Amino acid sequence: MSDQPTRVYENDEIRVFWYADRCQHAKKCVGGSWKAFDLSRRPWIDVNAIPAKELAEIIDRCPSGALRYEWKEQKEGTV
């Protein structure tokens, strides 16, 4: 297994890492939100489709660790 993600998806709030070689196809992501995780779309993860907090909650259910995330630090002066 690689320590480097296959792809990184991000917006102003969150950075999502996808490790394709770890995926067990449990479909917890797609079942959590087909808006954010759509296997027929490229890129298949849309980090802007749902609120970042909801996206993180879905990623937390990934049993294999194929999906991970990190919160981006807020810029000074923003709430």
The answer as to whether 79 is a domain residue is no
Quote the pLDDT of residue 78. 46
Q: What's the CATH number where 65 sits?
A: 3.30.70.20
How does pLDDT run across 27-77, given as a tens digit for each residue?
999 999 999 999 999 999 999 999 999 999 999 999 999 999 999 986 554
Q: Which domain holds residue 54?
A: 7-71
| Count: domains in the chain | 1
Q: State yes or no: pLDDT of 4 exceeds 60.
A: yes
The answer as to whether 64 is a domain residue is yes
The answer as to whether 76 is a domain residue is no
How does pLDDT run across 53-65, given as a tens digit for each residue?
999 999 999 999 9
Beta strand 14-18 with 67-71: parallel, antiparallel or unpaired?
antiparallel
The answer as to whether 1 is a domain residue is no
How does pLDDT run across 5-20, given as a tens digit for each residue?
999 999 999 999 999 9
DSSP class per residue in 4-18: S-SEEEE-SSEEEEE
Q: Which two tokens stand for residue 61?
A: 């259910």
Instruction: Write down the pTM of the prediction.
Output: 0.88
Q: Which two tokens stand for residue 70?
A: 């990190």
The answer as to whether 2 is a domain residue is no
The answer as to whether 61 is a domain residue is yes
Q: Which two tokens stand for residue 68?
A: 């991970």
